[in-house]
Structures are given as C-alpha cells and as structure tokens.
Amino acid sequence: MSPMPERMSDHWWWRAGVRPGRRLLVWHILPDGQAGVLDLVRQCQDKLAGLDGLDPVPAAWLHMTTQIVGFADEIPDAEVETMTAGVSEQLSDIAPIDVELGKLWLHSEAVMLGIRPPFALDPVRAAIRASVADAVRVHQLDDEPDWTPHISVAYSNTHGPAAPIIGALAARPELRPFRVGRVYLVAQERVGHLYRWERRAVARLGGTTARPSCG
C-alpha cells in the first residue's frame, strides 16, 4: 500500500458547492457484472468488518470516478447532449481495456483498490476531458487534473490511527481481471454516508452511446 497515512480523517465533510439534494454530473466506470471484482471488494470489506470508523461501499454503488463534470443545475441539457456525443465519438476508436484490480491503496479518507498497469485507462479519461472542455462552459476540469484510477472499498467516517486498517489488510489480495468497456454519465448526490446516482447515458469503448433503460 502506498502511500500509507499514519492517521485517518473523516471523508464526509461538505465540499464547496455540495449540499443535500444537489447533484453532480460525473463520468464513472462501473464494475457491472464482473463477479471477480465484486468478490475482491467483499473480501477486503470482510477483513475490515471488525473495525470502527469505516463505511463500506455497498456493491450497488461501487464505482471508479473518472471525471467530475460539474453541478447538474449549472449545465444546460444541450451541453450535456453535446458532451455525451463527443465522449461516444472519441471512445469509439478505443478498444475495451483489460486491467488488473487489487493494488491496495490507503488514503487518509478511504481504503481503495487501484489498477495495474496504472496508466492503462488514461486514454479513456483524456477522451472524456476533451469532450467536456469542448462542450461544457461551467465545468470542474481544473479541480482534479491528476487521476489515480481506483474503486473505494470503504470511506473513513472519523479521525483516528490508520494502523488497525493497515494491519487488517496486511495480507495482499489476489489481483482480479477488470475489463473496461464502457463509461457512464451519472447524476450523483450524497445521501448520508453514501453516494447514489441516476444513470444518464453510457458510452461504449469501440461502440456507440445509448440511453440506459432505467435509473
């Protein structure tokens, strides 16, 4: 695990502009239908189950945040449609990407699983960012220019030593294959100690964009 903080901190502070009921438009990679990934997350959560101060992420809400676009109430529908079409067009030239998930990464606010090779998904994010820059006037591209792809296993909800978490995860998990073949545009909001969202669109690598049939 690298880096390894000495102390954990509360993840659930309110970031600028975020408030109950206000939604962010975000592009996520989701582990839909990938049983090996879900099993890996479950194994890690089982190891952490006896520790206080952590909120495990339910399977239905596991995600790899790929790019925050901005607040939904600041982005017109026409810009969303143009952005989504642009992401689809750019990703149509990129074949699905196979990586391995399971590199443990401990942040002061969360326990996460990273990927190998670490930069394999950069073309996906670059395509999204280019489309956002072209289509959306009020965006958050400058807030997080760097990216470390990961899926959060659990969020910290308190301040305290990190040593118990590091000890619980001392045995490294077996890496699992993770195929990235699509990205989802979601309208996300924080509900208590949980991120929930409605799927707005899906863009397929090597394919086309379509509206999901349900939220």
* Each residue's pLDDT tens digit, 49-96: 999 999 999 999 999 999 999 999 999 999 999 999 999 999 999 999
Hey, what CATH topology would domain 7-12+22-208 get? Cyclic Phosphodiesterase; Chain: A, (3.90.1140)
Position 213 pLDDT exceeds 70: no
In the prediction, which pLDDT does 1 show?
43
- Please give the share of the chain, as a percent, with pLDDT higher than 70: 95
C-alpha angle 36-182-138 in degrees, rounded to nearest 5: 125
Banded model confidence at residue 207, pLDDT cuts 50, 70, 90: confident
In the prediction, which pLDDT does 208 show?
54
Q: Which residues contact 93 (CB under 8 A, 6 or more apart)?
A: 206
DSSP code per residue over 145-192: -S---EEEEEEE-S-EESHHHHHHT-SPPPPEEEEE-EEEEEEEEE-S
pTM for the predicted model, two decimal places: 0.93
Position 210 pLDDT exceeds 70: no
C-alpha angle 205-211-215 in degrees, rounded to nearest 5: 110
In the prediction, which pLDDT does 3 show?
61
Question: Where do we find the tokens 């642009």?
Answer: 86
- Render pLDDT for 118-140 as a digit per residue (tens, 0 to 9): 999 999 999 999 999 999 999 99
- Render pLDDT for 99-109 as a digit per residue (tens, 0 to 9): 999 999 999 99
- Please give the share of the chain, as a percent, with pLDDT higher than 90: 91
Position 211 pLDDT exceeds 60: no
Banded model confidence at residue 4, pLDDT cuts 50, 70, 90: confident
Tell me the average pLDDT of the chain. 94
> Mean pLDDT, to the nearest integer, of 18-31?
97
Position 190 pLDDT exceeds 90: yes
Q: Which residues contact 3 (CB under 8 A, 6 or more apart)?
A: 106
Domain parsing of the chain, residue ranges: 7-12+22-208
In the prediction, which pLDDT does 144 show?
85
